[in-house]
Structures are given as C-alpha cells and as structure tokens.
C-alpha cells in the first residue's frame, strides 16, 4: 500500500512532542527526535537492554475511567519496570502512537493527547530518560494504541535474570502488594472518569513507581541472584522465576507485605489482591541466605517472604504456608484486567 503523506495534525503533534521533550538531558543521546533515526552512544563495558510494551485502549486502560496523565505515566512505567527488574539504567524511550482521526481534530481529543504526554513526561523527567523518537499514525479503529520501547544499559554480563535462583536462598519483595488491584477496583466501581490527583503518591494503579533505583542498587551491590518485576501478580511472576531457575518456592503468608488500600477490604480479599493482583510493579528477587539484606534499598522497603527449595518433578512450583502452618499449593492466578470487558 502506498504510504500517504502525513496529515498536518500529525506533523504538528510531532513538532509539539519534539518541543516538549527537547529539554530532556542525556549523556548518551547524540541525536533525538527529528531525523530518520535517533543516535545513541552506548556506555563503555556495558550491554544494551531492550523492552517493548503495548498500551491498548480497553485492554490496559479505559478512556472513560483513567485520567490521560495516568495513561501516559503507566505507558512508560511498564517499560521502566522491566528495566528495573534487570538492574538496568534507562537510556531512552521510543513511542509509537496510533490515534483515532477525530482526536487530532477536536479540542477534547487534543487536550487528551497533551495530558497523556504531560503524564509521560513527568515520569520521564523523574528518571532522566529522554523520549528519543517514535512513530505517529492514524488508528484503524476508534481506539488509542501505544507501543513503548525502552532501551537501558547494564555492566557486561551483570543484568539480573530470572534464572539465577538456587535452593537455600531467600525470596524478597520490594514495597507492598495488592494496592494496584484495590485502586483499580475502586476506579471501576466509581462509574466515571477519575480526576487527576494533585499528589501522585499512593496511587499504585494510576501512578505506579517503577523501582529503577532499587534495581540498579541490587545489581551494583551484588545483592540479588535472580530478579523480575511483579506485573502480572506475585503468584504468576514467582512461577516464572521458579520455572526459569528450575526451583520450588515456599511463601509464608503472614510475611507478605499487603498494601493499605488492599487491607481495607478484609483479610481474605486483601490476601487475594496481594497474591494475584497485577500491576504492582514491585521487584521480586532472591539472594543467598547469608546475605544481610538491608530493610530498605534506595528508600524502598524490602521484605523477606519465603525461601527457595529444590525442584522435584511432579511437585507444584509454589507452596503457600498459612499462619497455622497449613501448606497449600499456590497456583499462578494473576489476572488481566479488562479481558472480560
Ligand atoms: P519517518 O517518516 O522518517 O519515520 P516521522 O515523520 O515518522 O519520520 O517522524 C519524524 C521524527 O519524529 C522522527 O525522529 C521520529 O522518531 C519522531 N516521532 C514521530 N512520532 C513520534 C512520537 N509519537 N513520539 C516521539 N517521537 C516521534
Ligand atoms: Mg515514521
């Protein structure tokens, strides 16, 4: 199919993005938005890490529920969290955006787009990650579709993987779990779009905080043998770690740090949100039992929640130990938020 010339609205939008993100400082970005490619200088003795994530309307957000700033924030947060999980330092972000035709033409659409970029920019500035390029196109449907690519760097052969856990090691999580699921539930119940909060703290679903500094510190201080981020829920992501490392995990229920927003719901629902609720974007990692783990790393609390055991064939991947010592199998049951709607 012949590529049509870019409509004026798209050219103006790209010019606006270029202008708004021009101030982002980066020692690694030689050339940003405006040419056919961005040019990056890779740091010496390091490797480049790449991750990409879709943000699709009605799957990852709803236009009638989420403030546009939150959509922009979460779009970048997902990729940053993947970099954090590997202990990487962000280098640059690239954003491909498909917008419904009428959004560029009307005031409310333009205002949505500009708020989306302002949410994305606030988080980008916080972590010094430049938006170095992307693509803009008309969406084939009346749906907003975004794909973000994040590049990061880590010292050669040091990136934290899922596959490094060994029997005898301890299992840790950062922060608290279940908050994102609890906040999402409240948002969906409300029945109208949530307004943009003045303070972005303590909004684990709308404004999650990717643990970049903590991931970098885990790598630099050699504290973790395996690591990943909790994007689909503890039960699902811990199963990924167990599979990749060929080990079994035992989790102590009473040790799981549950977010106060989840705790409001009664203990059973709270536990379910903490075990299976997705999008907390905390880090889940392992370390030898001999390591004296600090109680917080880069300002984020770290909690020991269990230990790694040898894998035996036929046995489930994860055992949950209740406060009365009853042992049950923990099945991976992280959920996809809008898969039913
Ligand atoms: P080309 O047709 O050569 O791919 P484009 O007109 O698509 O160029 O893009 C022009 C410049 O604007 C490029 O540097 C590109 O990376 C950047 N760009 C386009 N869309 C976006 C976007 N949504 N976010 C960031 N940069 C963008
Ligand atoms: Mg292009």
Question: Tokens 């036929």 identify what position?
Answer: 314
Cβ atoms of 66 and 196 within 8 Å: the answer is: no
Res 53: pLDDT: 97
Res 335: pLDDT: 61
Cβ atoms of 174 and 211 within 8 Å: the answer is: yes
Residue identifier of the C-alpha nearest atom 19 of ligand 1: 135
32-88 tens-digit pLDDT: 999 999 999 988 999 999 999 999 999 999 999 999 999 999 999 999 999 999 999
Res 86: pLDDT: 98
pTM of the model as a whole:
0.94
Could you identify the atom of ligand 1 that is nearest to the CA of residue 96? 23
- Nearest CA among 77, 80, 139, 82 for reference residue 113: 139
Question: Alpha-carbon distance 249 to 276, whole Å?
Answer: 16
Q: How far is CA 277 from the centre of its chain?
A: 13
Reduced to 3 states (helix: H, G, I; strand: E, B; else coil), residue 125 is: helix
Res 229: pLDDT: 98
Could you identify the atom of ligand 1 that is nearest to the CA of residue 136? 20
| Cα 182 to middle of ligand 2, angstroms | 39
Residue identifier of the C-alpha nearest atom 22 of ligand 1: 134
Residue identifier of the C-alpha nearest atom 10 of ligand 1: 34
Alpha helices (H) along the chain: 8-20, 68-85, 101-105, 107-126, 179-190, 212-220, 234-245, 260-263, 267-276
Question: Alpha-carbon distance 210 to 295, whole Å?
Answer: 19
Low-confidence ranges of the chain (pLDDT < 70): 1-5, 335-341
Res 3: pLDDT: 55
228 C-beta closer than 6 A to ligand 1 = no
| Cα 149 to middle of ligand 1, angstroms | 13
Q: Which residues surround ligand 2, an ion (CB under 5 A)?
A: 135
324 C-beta closer than 6 A to ligand 1 = no
Please report which ligand is nearest the Cα atom of 135.
1
Residue identifier of the C-alpha nearest atom 17 of ligand 1: 133
Task: Please count the other Cβ atoms lying within 10 Å of the Cβ belonging to residue 338.
Answer: 16
Res 341: pLDDT: 33
Cβ-based neighbours of 256, under 8 Å, separated by 6 or more: 173, 177, 234, 271, 274, 275, 303, 305
- Give first-to-last CA distance, the chain, whole Å: 33
State which H helix or E strand residue 286 sits in: strand 283-287
Question: Alpha-carbon distance 203 to 186, whole Å?
Answer: 11
Task: Please count the other Cβ atoms lying within 10 Å of the Cβ belonging to residue 7.
Answer: 15
| Cα 104 to middle of ligand 1, angstroms | 16
294 C-beta closer than 6 A to ligand 1 = no
C-alpha distances (whole Å) from 4 to each of 13, 139, 335 are 17, 14, 40
| Cα 192 to middle of ligand 1, angstroms | 34
Res 338: pLDDT: 58
72 C-beta closer than 6 A to ligand 1 = no
């Amino acid at each position: 199919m012949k590529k049509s010339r870019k409509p004026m609205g798209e050219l103006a939008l790209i010019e606006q993005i270029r202008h708004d993100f021009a101030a982002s400082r980066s020692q690694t970005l030689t050339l940003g938005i405006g040419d056919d490619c961005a040019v990056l200088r890779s740091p010496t003795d390091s490797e480049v890490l790449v991750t990409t994530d879709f943000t699709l309307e009605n799957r990852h957000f709803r236009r009638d529920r989420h403030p546009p700033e939150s959509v922009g924030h979460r779009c970048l947060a997902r990729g940053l969290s993947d970099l954090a999980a590997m202990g990487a330092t962000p280098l640059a972000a690239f954003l491909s955006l498909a917008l419904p035709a009428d959004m560029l033409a009307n005031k409310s659409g333009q205002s949505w787009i500009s708020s989306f970029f302002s949410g994305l920019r606030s988080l980008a500035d916080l972590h010094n990650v430049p938006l170095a390029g992307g693509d803009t196109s008309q969406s084939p449907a009346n749906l907003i579709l975004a794909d973000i690519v994040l590049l990061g760097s880590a010292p050669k052969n040091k990136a934290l993987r899922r596959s490094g856990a060994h029997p005898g090691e301890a299992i840790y999580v950062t922060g608290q779990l279940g908050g994102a699921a609890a906040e999402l539930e409240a948002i969906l119940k409300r029945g109208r779009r949530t307004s943009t909060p003045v303070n972005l703290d303590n909004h684990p679903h709308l404004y999650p905080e990717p643990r970049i500094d903590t991931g970098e510190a885990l790598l630099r201080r050699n504290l973790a043998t395996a690591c990943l981020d909790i994007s689909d829920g503890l039960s699902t992501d811990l199963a990924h770690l167990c599979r990749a490392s060929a080990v079994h995990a035992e989790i102590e229920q009473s040790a799981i740090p549950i977010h106060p927003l989840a705790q409001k719901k009664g203990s059973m629902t709270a536990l379910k949100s903490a075990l299976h609720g997705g999008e907390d974007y905390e880090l889940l990692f392992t370390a030898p039992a001999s390591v004296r783990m600090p109680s917080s790393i880069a300002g984020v609390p770290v909690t020991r929640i269990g230990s790694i055991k040898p894998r035996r064939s036929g046995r489930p991947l994860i055992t949950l130990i209740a406060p009365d010592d009853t042992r049950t199998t923990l099945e991976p049951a992280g959920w996809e938020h809008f898969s039913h709607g």
